[in-house]
């Protein structure tokens, strides 16, 4: 392989007396002409390599065929209409339809018309309580920066001006007069896509007034917080505000909207735990919290004296991690039992009514609805169960199939089983392994090991249309539930943070070793993949154990651990990672595993395809640019090390179907080619 020449400069930083060279710092400037030229040159090399893979087109055609079926979202009721999302098959974006009871569906919003190439997406919509107005967000090119448009639902006419520069925001209506939203000031230094975003602000926008007159409700100079969200209770009695400086832990506030000019009242004044208002009955608040309950609980309290000292347990903490929703005047406790769903229905007094019978072992989501609903919809999926929508009767507890997935996949031909393996320090870690029934465990199966391990995120079983490509070829798909995730509550999360972060990498390495020892695969037939924090995971493991696997896919990864907190919202990740400025010990710990810094000269690394996107303003592409440049410089051996840079795309959300299929085509083609697998068209 001949790679583009990447210039180096003499940039250095000094941390606690240690000088750290950063010769590719110039690639952090995403607007510079030399950076753009580098991106073009790298993409040219990557596309030239991929174009030579003989079965790439066959994989692309197969993916298009697999993707080409009608996909539905669960219906939801707003005013006199029932709304649902639907994608005909290969549409770039799902379309929002609506219908009246017994009527025919009509198109309400078609995001495919937002842009000619399908890269502008609908990024959220909220309706007024009576359904007569809606505010929706759009994302251009995958950016986290959004615009907000308000329409009358009856005739879809636009009301007032389009709001701009909205980021990490919900939309919460206050009657039909206006709504709350969150945003940051535009970055003054650097580009809007990479500049640091520090102080989040909650605003109130009154319909018919310019955005410049929007009222600051919370945040800003008086109460600087990195993340601020506002929501309004279903009865529109309370504004609920959560405020945080990192991705874990938040303060909680309420304001009585029925009393004009009432003060914002503190419920929780520290960020040591997480809490939100689940529901209310008049002045009685139902609060979901992990305060003194690492696996979460639900408490009640009177709004007049809402401090934690007055909280009463309604649904106590159990050994299983609790998530919750409400609908039809009930609470739905969705527990994680070894990373799969167990759903229990309670009344509002906290009495257990029933355990809901699910279609199998997997992931059930969507147990939520308005208080006056008699039924709600939930989606059930697993690695071998394509997502299907069920209608659930709240009174009887009966589920009935509403929409079955139309994907071309026969679950009877495949199996998915959970195993528990032992990590380096003796910790038992669960992993779900999926493959065709009857494959030989002789170490020859192409295997993709996928992981995340961070930010309290739980990887629960979910079907992937793309993964059919691997399973059809007799391949194995394995997903371990690494520490750092939320599968076993806050203790499991904390065991993979800061100076415990190596546990996550050890768990992933042990998963790979389990698959090899049990003859699912071998190092020559094993690929690793992960995105965002999972991109960090792949980057760290490929630098620590380059011998363990053949192919690596670090996607939109956090790869420079000394500077991640200098860009966009990166400073908010410090709870999980710590920063190089915290202490000498924290700096040394980060410096040791930071993928960009852990690369060593004259080392044979796995065949690697780094993936990122030019509009990623969550994990800026500079991480991937610098890592790829140094990897190409240091790598020894015949394995290709490439970077694939999407244009008009961001961190992942809102990608067009065409972009997704193109990326998945390249992933499977690169993986099979470098594992020595010849793609066979399915019979």
Confidence (pLDDT) at 619: 77
Residue 188: is its pLDDT beyond 70?
no
Instruction: State pLDDT tens for residues 327-358.
Output: 999 999 999 999 999 999 999 999 999 999 99
Main-chain dihedrals φ then ψ at residue 260, nearest 5 degrees: -55, 135
Confidence (pLDDT) at 465: 98
Q: Which of 139, 182, 183, 532 is catalytic?
A: 532
Count of alpha carbons within 13 angstroms of residue 444, beta-carbon side: 8
Average pLDDT over residues 609-630: 89
What are the distances in angstroms from CA 548 to CA 434, 516, 543? 21, 9, 10
Instruction: State pLDDT tens for residues 265-323.
Output: 999 999 999 999 999 999 999 999 999 999 999 999 999 999 999 999 999 999 999 99
Residue 190: is its pLDDT beyond 70?
no
Residue 400: is its pLDDT beyond 80?
yes
262 an active-site residue? no
Cα separation, 594 vs 559, in Å, equals: 6
For 316, other C-beta atoms within 10 Å of its C-beta total 12
Cβ–Cβ under 8 Å, residues 492 and 429: no
205 an active-site residue? no
Residue 256: is its pLDDT beyond 80?
yes
Confidence (pLDDT) at 656: 87
Mean pLDDT over the full length of the chain: 95
In percent, how much of the chain has pLDDT > 70? 98
For 585, other C-beta atoms within 10 Å of its C-beta total 11
E-only strand ranges, 128-269: 133-140, 145-152, 163-167, 172-174, 178-183, 201-206, 215-219, 227-232, 238-244, 251-256, 264-268
Confidence (pLDDT) at 653: 72
Q: Which of 183, 275, 651, 656 is catalytic?
A: 651
Confidence (pLDDT) at 192: 62
Confidence (pLDDT) at 195: 61
Helices 622-634 and 33-51: angle between axes, nearest 10 degrees: 60
Helices (H), 566-638: 574-577, 584-593, 595-598, 622-634
Cα separation, 148 vs 119, in Å, equals: 17
Q: Is the pTM of this model over 0.85?
A: yes
E-only strand ranges, 585-673: 607-613, 641-646
Confidence (pLDDT) at 88: 96
Instruction: State pLDDT tens for residues 413-446.
Output: 999 999 999 999 999 999 999 999 999 999 999 9
Q: Are strands 551-555 and 607-613 parallel, antiparallel or unpaired?
A: parallel
- Nearest Cα to Cα of residue 289 among 304, 305, 267: 267
Q: Which of 194-203, 510-519, 532-541 has the lowest mean pLDDT?
A: 194-203
Who has greater pLDDT, 182 or 650?
182
Confidence (pLDDT) at 120: 92
Tokens of 403: 């929409």
Tokens of 659: 């972009």
pLDDT band of 196, cuts 50, 70, 90:
low
pLDDT band of 199, cuts 50, 70, 90:
confident
Confidence (pLDDT) at 568: 80
Average pLDDT over residues 568-586: 94
Residue 189: is its pLDDT beyond 60?
no
């Amino acid at each position: 392989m001949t790679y583009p020449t990447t210039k180096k400069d003499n940039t250095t930083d000094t941390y606690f007396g240690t000088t750290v060279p950063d010769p590719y710092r110039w690639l952090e400037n995403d607007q510079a002409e030399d950076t753009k030229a580098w991106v073009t040159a790298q993409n040219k090399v990557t596309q030239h390599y991929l174009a030579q893979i003989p079965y790439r087109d066959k994989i692309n055609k197969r993916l298009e065929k697999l993707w080409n079926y009608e996909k539905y979202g669960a219906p939801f009721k707003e005013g006199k209409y029932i709304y649902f999302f639907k994608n005909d098959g290969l549409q770039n974006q799902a379309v929002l339809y609506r219908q009246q009871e017994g009527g025919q569906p009509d198109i309400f919003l078609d995001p495919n018309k937002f842009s000619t190439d399908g890269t502008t997406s609908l990024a959220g919509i909220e309706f007024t309580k009576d359904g007569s107005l809606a505010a929706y967000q759009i994302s251009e090119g995958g950016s986290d920066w959004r615009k907000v448009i308000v329409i009358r639902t009856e005739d879809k006419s636009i009301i007032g001006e389009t709001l701009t520069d909205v980021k990490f925001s919900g939309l919460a209506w206050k009657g039909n007069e206006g709504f709350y939203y969150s945003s940051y000031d535009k970055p003054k230094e650097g580009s809007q896509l990479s500049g640091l975003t520090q102080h989040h602000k909650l605003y109130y926008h009154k319909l018919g007034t310019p955005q410049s007159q929007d009222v600051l409700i919370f945040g800003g100079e008086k109460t600087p917080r990195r993340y601020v969200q506002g929501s309004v209770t279903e009865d529109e009695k309370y504004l609920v505000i959560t405020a945080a400086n990192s991705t874990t832990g938040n303060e909680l506030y309420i304001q009585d909207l029925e009393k004009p000019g009432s003060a914002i009242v503190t419920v929780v004044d520290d960020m040591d735990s997480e809490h939100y208002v689940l529901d209310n009955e008049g002045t009685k608040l139902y609060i979901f919290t992990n305060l003194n309950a690492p696996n979460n609980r639900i408490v009640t309290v009177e709004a007049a004296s809402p401090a934690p000292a007055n909280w009463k347990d309604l649904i106590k903490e159990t050994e299983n991690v609790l998530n919750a929703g409400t609908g039809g005047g009930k609470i739905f406790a969705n527990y994680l039992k070894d990373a799969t769903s167990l759903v229990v229905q309670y009344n509002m007094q906290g009495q257990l009514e029933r355990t809901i019978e699910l279609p199998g072992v997997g992931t059930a989501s969507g147990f939520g609805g308005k208080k006056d609903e008699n039924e709600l919809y939930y989606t059930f999926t697993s690695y071998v169960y394509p997502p299907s929508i069920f209608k659930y009767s709240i009174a009887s507890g009966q589920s009935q199939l509403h929409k079955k997935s139309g994907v071309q996949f026969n679950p009877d031909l495949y199996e998915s089983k959970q195993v528990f393996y032992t990590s380096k320090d003796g910790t038992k870690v669960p992993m779900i392994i999926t493959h065709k029934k009857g494959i030989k465990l002789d170490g020859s199966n192409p295997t993709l090991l996928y992981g995340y391990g961070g930010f309290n995120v739980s990887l629960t079983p979910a079907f992937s249309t793309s993964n059919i490509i691997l399973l059809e070829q007799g391949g194995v798909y394995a997903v371990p539930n690494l520490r750092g995730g939320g599968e076993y509550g806050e203790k499991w999360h904390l065991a993979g943070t800061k100076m415990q972060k190596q546990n996550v990498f050890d768990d992933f390495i042990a998963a790979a070793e389990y698959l090899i020892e049990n003859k699912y695969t071998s190092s020559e037939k094993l690929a690793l993949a992960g995105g965002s924090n999972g991109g960090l995971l792949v980057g760290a493991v490929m630098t620590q154990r380059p011998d363990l696997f053949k192919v690596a896919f670090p996607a939109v990864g956090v790869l420079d651990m000394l500077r991640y907190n200098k860009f966009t919202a990166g400073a908010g990740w410090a709870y999980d990672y710590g920063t190089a400025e915290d202490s000498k010990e924290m700096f040394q710990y980060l410096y040791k595993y930071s993928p960009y810094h852990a690369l060593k000269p004259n080392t044979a690394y796995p065949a690697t395809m780094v993936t990122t996107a030019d509009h990623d303003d969550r994990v800026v592409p500079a991480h991937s640019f610098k890592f790829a440049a140094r990897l190409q410089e240091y790598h020894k051996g015949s394995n290709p090390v490439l970077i694939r840079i999407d244009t008009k795309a961001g961190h992942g959300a809102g990608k067009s179907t065409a972009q997704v299929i193109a990326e998945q085509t390249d992933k499977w083609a690169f993986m099979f080619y470098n594992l020595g697998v010849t793609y066979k068209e399915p019979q």
